[in-house]
Structures are given as structure tokens and as C-alpha cells.
Amino acid sequence: MTPGIFDTMTFEVLTLFPDIINSYLSESIMKRAIERGAVRVDVYNIRDFTTDKHRQVDDSPYGGGAGMVLKPEPVYNALDYLDRDGLERFKVLLTPDGRVFNQSLAEEYAGDRRRILFIAGRYEGFDERIRAVSDEELSIGDYVLTGGELPALVIIDAVTRLLPGVLGDSRSAEEESFTTGLLDYPQYTRPAEFRGMRVPDVLLGGNHELIRRWRRKEALRHTLQRRPELLQRVNLSEEDNELIREIKEEEE
Ligand code: SAM
């Protein structure tokens, strides 16, 4: 089902640092998307679901070793509390060993999911038993960050910009890198010449068909040069194959 503009998508984030999330949401496109009702983001502090006097959320690892581990109880308590509303929520655990998030998954989430909850880890990671609550484990790439807040924001941002009515011009999302299967074509704005670098003449000429062809060719060139493996998943048209031949001839 493709959601309509008034079909609000809800994100929930369990974190130890709600301000990190809220700060990003209070600016620019995310702020406007929330104001327009396209998305709603509810942030919960895991520490609020502790039951001990010291509100402890972490503890040392069994078996010894460096750092601390996020305890299971506060996370399970938070989920018990949220699940009392009986609403269906898709639970995503953020972890470097998860499935790597990409644009196809952003599109899938934007189309299919109405309520996604993220669990942001911290410290050396989380108690292994927390994995049992999640529907999906996601990573945003092969590197280790300090916590799951940036990964949650990366995913929320990438999904939100695909929702109807969020970007001023829906073509903006449709033409972006990865959505078409290709990397984006180069963009220019005024001035027409800057420090000896000129904007390609075709973009100044106003011939829409020539501009379309040039953009497609440059998107193909970019992809061939930077991420050739992406081309294997694109259904290339006859025109694309002709443009690729031209690019190869130009580069010989
Ligand atoms: N010891 C863990 C490991 O080696 O996999 C790393 C823990 S990391 C310092 C703390 C938390 O940050 C993780 O539990 C996870 O929630 C989040 N995190 C860090 N890098 C991430 C990534 N690439 N994708 C998603 N979440 C990440």
C-alpha cells in the first residue's frame, strides 16, 4: 500500500540520549515533515524504564573484558510499556552486525511500514538477549559508531524523504542516486562560469530533450566510473546502451 499524505508514519526511538534525536528533528526537512503530519517521532529514554535506585542501564560483561553492556531489563520494560497500546510496531535493533541498510530498504519501509521502533545501543553493545525482541537488525555500514542514535536518524531521514508530500517536488526523490539504480547526474547553479570552470553548454541552452539525454549519460558515466557493480541491477534501455558506447568511445 502506498501511504497518502495524511497517513502519518510513526517512528519511535529507545535511546539513552533523546536530545541527540530531538536536536536533528528540530531543523529543516524533518522539522517540516513533522509539522505537516507526514511523520511523527516519539523518543523514549531507556533510563526511565529502570527500576533500581541508581537508574542503572549498563553493567560489566560476564566473563570479563573491556567496557560496559546495556542491560536487558530497561529495554524489555520499555517495550512492555509501549506494547500495552496494542499497536503493531516493527522493531529494529541497530547493530554493526545487522543487515546493511540501503535505498531499497528505505523504499520498502516507506511503502510498507506505518510504525517503526528503533533500539539504539551504547557502550560495548547490548546484552545478547535484547536481540530476541527485534523483527530486524540493521547496520548503517561497516564501521562502529559510539551509539545507535546516528543510525536511527540516518534511517528515519532516508525513509521520511520518500514519504508523499515531504519533499517540495516529488521528482527530487525519484531522480536521486540509487532510486533510479544509478548514481545522480552532476548539478550546477549560477554563476555559469566560476574560477575558470564552466557549466556545460547543454544546460544553458534550454533544450529539454538534450538536457534529459545529457543527464542520463552523465548518470551512467558517474555510475560506470564510481560504482560499476550497480549497473548489473539496472534494466538498461537501448538508449542507455548507446550512451554507454558513446562514453566508452570518448574515454578511449
Ligand atoms: N561492540 C560492538 C561491536 O563491535 O559490534 C559495538 C558497539 S557500539 C560502540 C554501540 C552501539 O552503537 C551498538 O550497540 C549499536 O546500537 C550502535 N552502532 C554502532 N555502529 C553501528 C552501525 N554501523 N550500524 C548500526 N548501529 C551501530
Establish whether residue 61 lines the binding site of ligand 1, counting it when its CB lies within 6 angstroms of any ligand atom. Answer: no
- Give bridge partners of residue 100 from the DSSP assignment: 139
Establish whether residue 119 lines the binding site of ligand 1, counting it when its CB lies within 6 angstroms of any ligand atom. Answer: no
Ligand 1: centre distance to CA 15 (Å): 13
Cα within 13 Å of Cα(2), Cβ side: 5
Nearest residue to 87 (alpha-carbon basis) of 95, 96, 79, 76: 79
Burial class (CB in 10 A: 0-12, 13-18, 19+), 223: buried
Cα within 13 Å of Cα(192), Cβ side: 6
The best mutation among 15, 91, 94 to test binding of ligand 1, ranked by most ligand atoms within 8 Å of the C-beta, falls on 94
The pairing of strands 58-59 and 69-70 is antiparallel
Give the span between the Cα atoms of 180 and 99, in whole angstroms: 22
Ligand 1: centre distance to CA 145 (Å): 6
pLDDT category at 168 given cuts 50, 70, 90 is: confident
| Cβ contact 76:127 at 8 Å | no
Q: pTM for the full model?
A: 0.94
Torsion of CA 119, 115, 84, 55, to 10 degrees: 20
Whether the pLDDT of residue 181 is over 70: the answer is: yes
Ligand 1: centre distance to CA 8 (Å): 29
113-155 pLDDT, tens digit each = 899 999 999 999 999 999 999 999 999 999 999 999 999 999 9
Specify the ligand 1 atom closest to the Cα of 119. 16
Nearest residue to 21 (alpha-carbon basis) of 5, 41, 4: 41
Residue nearest to ligand 1 atom 5, measured at CA: 96
DSSP 102: -
Establish whether residue 137 lines the binding site of ligand 1, counting it when its CB lies within 6 angstroms of any ligand atom. Answer: no
Residue nearest to ligand 1 atom 22, measured at CA: 96
Domains annotated for the chain, with CATH where assigned, are: 5-160 (3.40.1280.10), 177-251 (1.10.1270.20)
Establish whether residue 75 lines the binding site of ligand 1, counting it when its CB lies within 6 angstroms of any ligand atom. Answer: no
Phi-psi region of 28 (alpha: psi -120 to 50; beta: other; left: phi over 0): left
Whether the pLDDT of residue 1 is over 80: the answer is: no
Establish whether residue 74 lines the binding site of ligand 1, counting it when its CB lies within 6 angstroms of any ligand atom. Answer: no
| Cβ contact 228:181 at 8 Å | no
* Residue 225 neighbours by CB under 8 Å, 6+ apart: none
Whether the pLDDT of residue 4 is over 80: the answer is: no
pLDDT at res. 52: 96
